[in-house]
Structure 1
């Protein structure tokens, strides 16, 4: 799967700028909080008006043209592995029809060892 990441931090570093300098220069156009979130890569979406304001401010600071390609990059994110895919594809829609398992007064978190599915589909118990 492909996703897009905001790479403002890299742009700022390459041009010897700080997020603080950008936030001060963008005051009145972009909030300080937004500039810092963008620089830290903590945003999952950005308004096009905000992107345009950041680009304009960077052009003022660097004297160079700035395009969206300077601030965004596409990356490939690995999908779920085979075990996760099996869980995601499973049908748990009828689980509410069953009573919860009766552990008989025992604490299930203190019993036995963890079990997982290995790469070949075999059950792996504990640290085997």
Structure 2
């Protein structure tokens, strides 16, 4: 979907934007990370995207700046009345994310498929309301 990104890969599945961070988050420049996070937030703001699934399966390491960028993406979706979900992290990363209480803010699913299924079940709040 967003082809110029190097830190994240993205694709759209229905009204869900699937974002997959790739590689060692600590190896990227701060400005590059924020530029790409801003591009993803802009994509979330466009019509047709209601929810965000963040697939952590290809992420080898992350620091506080990286977590901050994921949180900002998830907040953008929430501000637009959508839902974000985290998924597919390795057991060590799951433990770290639990300790950071991120699962209190956004649900976690073991697989991307489970996250997509759960997000697809949420009514689309951006659809026109009938009276």
Mark yes or no: TM-score above 0.5. no
Q: TM-score, normalised by structure 1?
A: 0.25
Q: Whose strand fraction is larger, Structure 1's or Structure 2's? A: 2
Q: Larger relative contact order (C-alpha < 8 A, sep ≥ 6)? A: 1
